[in-house]
Chain A
Amino acid sequence: MKSIRALIIDDSSVMRKIVERSLRQAGIELTQVFEAGNGAEALGVLKENQVDLILCDINMPVMDGLEFIKQLPGVANAKDVPVVMITTEGSETHVVQALSCGARGYIRKPFTPEQVREQVMPVLGGKP
């Protein structure tokens, strides 16, 4: 698996650090990590930068994760980038809603690095 560029979207800076740490602990090599505090900020980051993977919270101020996914096809260089949701909202309804909006994976908080690997590797074309 080649080294990747990831965008981590969460309104908590601590959670962004934890997600990055978990990716590294899961054995995913990161060339570059971009961060955004909400969906609107993330769309701005994507207009200026190319990434290979997006990890996104659902409940955020300004623009939540589901709205972000809906708007993602409008960003030319990001419309095919896989999105994996990482959220406290763990009900089946939330999972179905996120997947129907275009998310490729779903990780419930709390999570282990192994669970991150299981969800992320397949969307990057690797084995979990």
Chain B
Amino acid sequence: MKSMNELLAPDNSHKEWVPLMELATREVFEMMLGCKLAAQPEIAVDGSFDITGMVGLAGQMCGVLTVRCTAKSAVLMSSKMLGTEPAAGSQDVLDALGEICNMVAGNFKNKVAGMGDGCMLSVPTVITGNDYSLHSLADSGALEVRLLFESMPIAITLQIHS
């Protein structure tokens, strides 16, 4: 059984999509949360992310896009989106991360030529905790972007099924 980090290990297939993933993510945070994301120079895999938003892609592009962050980051994201102070672990926090993931996935696929019409998104799912294993039919490894949100790391990962 592979761990989440092993399964989401970076891969070079479709690496030309990485800048589009980064741009799609930056746009979502700038437009919906009013904040700029900073680059994270060191790509370090760690187990500190304890909340994961997931959206499936189906059609011409099949796979799973995840947005992973800490619970503290998720609360702050929710606060910036809603203009309120939601409690950690509340439904608003989970839903906000799901919506962010959904918008990143949608914005990304709209930037990939020909995918706007040819790729559908699933309803977002949010997982809390980091002690789990994810099994996917994706067979092309993963593309990953790591950025800093208010000095806290977030990881955006796309697993592609060829």
Contacts and interface: CB of A to CB of B under 8 A. Distances in A.
Interface of A: 11-15, 17-18, 21, 59, 88-94, 108-112
B106 A88 contact: yes
Contacts, number: 60
Contacts of A59: 121
Contact of A12 (B32, B95, B110, B116): B95
B21 interface: no
Contact of B81 (A11, A18, A88): A18
A89 B106 contact: yes
A59 B122 CA distance: 10
Contacts of A110: 27-28, 31-32, 103, 107
A30 to B, nearest CB: 15
Looking at chain B's contact residues, is the secondary structure mostly helix, strand, loop, or mixed? helix
Closest 5 CB pairs of A and B: A91-B116, A88-B106, A14-B95, A110-B31, A90-B110
Given A15-B99, A90-B106, A92-B116, 20 more contacts: A11-B123, A12-B95, A12-B98, A13-B91, A13-B92, A14-B81, A14-B96, A17-B92, A18-B81, A21-B82, A88-B105, A88-B121, A89-B116, A91-B110, A91-B116, A91-B117, A94-B116, A94-B117, A110-B27, A112-B31
Interface of B: 27-28, 31-32, 78, 81-83, 91-92, 95-96, 98-99, 102-103, 105-107, 110, 116-117, 121, 123
